[in-house]
């Protein structure tokens, strides 16, 4: 298939081939998305709450994730462990996820058991029982999870250090799992308060995907969720956006960990995507265009193997290299690039090589064929996701949590329309020392000084001039 034809089809394709999406709102405020896909007699039921780590306050970081655990530890009707037993009896699989912007509870089940799944989830929405003894047991489990996923995991530790250093005011600086000191001092009342404030139908979105029809889903949703009252007397808390102060200079942090060679991550402040609205300002529209171009640049650096080619294959400075940019968030985040150094190569040298790779894009632009390959990969990823009702439900739920609802097609079309000139332009403008944070992990047994991390580091103007051909070779 011709690439332009394929991309044109992507721009108008539904969320999944032949799968109509309908949106409804119950009287109590619960929004219901129904995605029909009758290829298999299964259903994905996902319940999303607009409550994540970004909504927490200092002193109780991690409470959103703690409550996620407690949601599996008993209600007024079911004791600890009974929820899992009920799901197993239905032939269903249940899981959950806490993220910066939301907490989601997902179930995959035979379609004929959708009503039973809803009954169990509605019970957890309204009648959760947080027992002091169960909380004390679970918080110890979570502290051990933190040790394994962050304290003793190089990748987790690296990103925690990066975000905690890059952000000073924004709650983006807090780890989703929470600081250990907050977990140690957290009480069952903290979890109960979080539950009362956020876990309500008017603060939730239900997504049902699979072998269903909207009328059936709405009838079941009304039966199980529609009877839950909207707590008008105690509305959902208003979120106050915290504006991150301008950075004004490169920030650096170094830590030691059980790693064989140094690892590093560079984070650059980057905007988030806003939902297109009539009457939007020209400035906002320009920022959103930049967001899509940055997303494509991240794919080129990572999927397109620009970083891997530049510093792994050609120069042998790193064992692996990567790039990442999450633009679907409620608060601005980071565009990150990073690498694992090869033996006897300093982080400072790899840092310069990473900057050089971005500088080359800013100076020389990107190869049109490489851009087309990345766009085709993104289209293929879309088609693969459509094969799973679970991934369909996950995508719809995440977009709904961030205010984009059923805008998946529009987002894909905007990504597909990004040009090489736009990618080069953002590479020239966003990768500046004033917005850069560098996090480095050094081996525990390294006898060198932490100053080696910044040995011969780039001059402050170096990254900011990548579009002017002033990058240096390795």
Instruction: Give the CATH number for residue 314.
Output: 3.30.830.10
On the question of pLDDT at 5 being above 80, the answer is no
Domains held by the chain: number:
2
Q: Which of 165-169, 428-432, 434-438, 445-449 has the lowest mean pLDDT?
A: 445-449
- Considering the domain architecture, whether residues 290 and 208 belong to the same structural domain is answered as no
- Considering the domain architecture, whether residues 441 and 317 belong to the same structural domain is answered as yes
Of 224, 242, 274, which residue sits at a domain end? 224
Q: Is 229 helix (H, G, I), strand (E, B) or coil?
A: coil
On the question of pLDDT at 55 being above 70, the answer is yes
Q: In the chain, what percentage of residues exceed pLDDT 90? A: 74
User: Considering the domain boundaries, does residue 4 fall inside one?
Assistant: no
On the question of pLDDT at 251 being above 60, the answer is yes
Comparing CA positions, the residue from 339, 335, 334 lying closest to residue 322 is: 339
Q: Which domain holds residue 107?
A: 19-224
- The pLDDT value recorded for residue 282 is 79
CB contact at 8 A, 208 and 44: yes
User: Considering the domain boundaries, does residue 238 fall inside one?
Assistant: no
- Considering the domain architecture, whether residues 305 and 174 belong to the same structural domain is answered as no
On the question of pLDDT at 387 being above 90, the answer is no
- Considering the domain architecture, whether residues 220 and 273 belong to the same structural domain is answered as no
Please indicate whether residue 369 or residue 381 has the higher confidence score (pLDDT): 369
- Considering the domain architecture, whether residues 202 and 260 belong to the same structural domain is answered as no
Comparing CA positions, the residue from 371, 382, 364, 394 lying closest to residue 303 is: 371
Number of Cα atoms under 13 Å in the Cβ half of residue 343: 1
Q: Which of 326-335, 383-392, 430-439, 458-467 has the lowest mean pLDDT?
A: 458-467
- Considering the domain architecture, whether residues 279 and 414 belong to the same structural domain is answered as yes
On the question of pLDDT at 295 being above 70, the answer is yes
User: Considering the domain boundaries, does residue 239 fall inside one?
Assistant: no
pTM for the full model?
0.88
Type and span of the H or E element at 324: strand 318-325
On the question of pLDDT at 450 being above 70, the answer is no
Neighbour count for residue 9 (Cβ, 10 Å): 11
- Considering the domain architecture, whether residues 257 and 126 belong to the same structural domain is answered as no
Q: In the chain, what percentage of residues exceed pLDDT 70? A: 88
- Considering the domain architecture, whether residues 201 and 333 belong to the same structural domain is answered as no
- Considering the domain architecture, whether residues 196 and 271 belong to the same structural domain is answered as no
On the question of pLDDT at 468 being above 60, the answer is no
User: Considering the domain boundaries, does residue 366 fall inside one?
Assistant: yes
User: Considering the domain boundaries, does residue 234 fall inside one?
Assistant: no
As a whole number of angstroms, the distance between CA 269 and CA 165 comes to 12
Q: Which of 36-40, 245-249, 402-406, 429-433 has the lowest mean pLDDT?
A: 402-406
Comparing CA positions, the residue from 228, 466, 197 lying closest to residue 356 is: 466
User: Considering the domain boundaries, does residue 260 fall inside one?
Assistant: yes
On the question of pLDDT at 410 being above 70, the answer is yes
User: Considering the domain boundaries, does residue 175 fall inside one?
Assistant: yes
- Considering the domain architecture, whether residues 197 and 288 belong to the same structural domain is answered as no
- The pLDDT value recorded for residue 227 is 96
Model confidence at 6, in pLDDT bands (50, 70, 90)?
Answer: low
User: Considering the domain boundaries, does residue 89 fall inside one?
Assistant: yes
Please state the rounded mean pLDDT for residues 417-436.
Answer: 96
Of 175, 207, 224, which residue sits at a domain end? 224
Q: Which of 18-22, 157-161, 213-217 has the lowest mean pLDDT?
A: 18-22
CA 361 centroid distance within chain: 26
Please state the rounded mean pLDDT for residues 292-303.
Answer: 96
Sequence length of the chain is: 474
- The pLDDT value recorded for residue 278 is 56
Model confidence at 238, in pLDDT bands (50, 70, 90)?
Answer: confident
- Considering the domain architecture, whether residues 402 and 279 belong to the same structural domain is answered as yes
Model confidence at 376, in pLDDT bands (50, 70, 90)?
Answer: confident
Question: In the 8-state DSSP scheme, what is residue 312?
Answer: I
Please state the rounded mean pLDDT for residues 261-268.
Answer: 98
- Structure token pair of residue 338: 């990073």
- Considering the domain architecture, whether residues 296 and 373 belong to the same structural domain is answered as yes
pLDDT digits over 156-200, tens only? 999 999 999 999 999 999 999 999 999 999 999 999 999 999 999
Mean pLDDT score of the chain: 88
């Amino acid at each position: 298939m011709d690439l332009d034809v394929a991309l044109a089809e992507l721009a108008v394709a539904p969320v999944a081939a032949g799968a109509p999406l309908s949106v409804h709102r119950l009287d109590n405020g619960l929004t219901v998305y129904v995605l029909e896909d009758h290829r298999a007699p299964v259903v994905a039921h996902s319940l999303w709450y607009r409550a994540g780590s970004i909504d927490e306050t200092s002193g109780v970081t991690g409470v959103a994730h703690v409550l996620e655990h407690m949601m599996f530890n008993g209600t007024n009707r079911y004791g600890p462990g009974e929820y899992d037993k009920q799901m197993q009896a239905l032939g269903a699989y249940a899981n959950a996820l806490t993220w910066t912007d939301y907490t989601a509870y997902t179930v995959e089940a035979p379609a004929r058991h959708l009503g039973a799944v809803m009954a169990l989830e509605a019970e957890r929405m309204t009648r959760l029982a947080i027992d002091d003894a169960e909380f004390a047991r679970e918080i110890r489990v979570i502290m051990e999870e933190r040790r394994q996923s962050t304290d003793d995991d190089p990748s987790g530790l690296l990103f925690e250090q990066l975000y905690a250093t890059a952000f000073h005011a924004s709650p983006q600086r807090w780890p989703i799992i929470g600081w250990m000191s907050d977990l140690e001092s957290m009480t069952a009342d903290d979890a109960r308060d979080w539950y009362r404030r956020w876990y309500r139908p008017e603060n939730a979105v239900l997504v049902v995907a699979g072998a269903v029809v909207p009328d059936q889903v709405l009838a079941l949703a009304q039966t199980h969720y529609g009877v839950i009252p909207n707590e008008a007397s105690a509305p959902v808390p208003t979120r106050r956006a915290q504006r991150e102060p301008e950075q004004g200079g490169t920030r650096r942090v170094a830590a030691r960990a059980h790693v064989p060679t140094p690892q590093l991550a560079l984070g650059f402040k980057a905007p988030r995507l806003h939902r297109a609205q009539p009457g939007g300002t020209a400035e906002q529209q320009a920022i959103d265009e930049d967001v899509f171009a940055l997303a494509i640049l991240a794919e080129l650096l990572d999927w397109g193997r620009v970083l891997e080619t530049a510093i792994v294959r050609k120069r042998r400075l790193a064992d692996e290299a990567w790039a990442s940019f999450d633009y679907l968030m409620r608060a601005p985040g980071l565009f990150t690039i990073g690498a694992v150094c090869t033996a006897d190569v300093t982080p400072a040298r790899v840092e310069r090589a990473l900057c050089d790779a971005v500088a080359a894009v800013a100076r020389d632009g990107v190869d049109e064929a490489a851009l087309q390959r990345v766009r085709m990969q993104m289209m293929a990823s879309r088609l693969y996701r459509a094969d799973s009702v679970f991934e369909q439900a996950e995508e719809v739920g995440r977009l709904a949590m961030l205010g984009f609802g059923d805008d998946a097609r529009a987002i894909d079309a905007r990504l597909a329309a990004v040009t090489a000139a736009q990618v080069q332009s953002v590479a020239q403008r966003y990768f500046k020392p004033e917005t850069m944070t560098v996090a480095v992990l050094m081996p525990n047994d390294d006898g060198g000084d932490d100053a080696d991390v910044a040995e011969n580091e780039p001059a402050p103007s170096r990254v900011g001039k990548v579009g002017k051909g002033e990058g240096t070779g390795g």
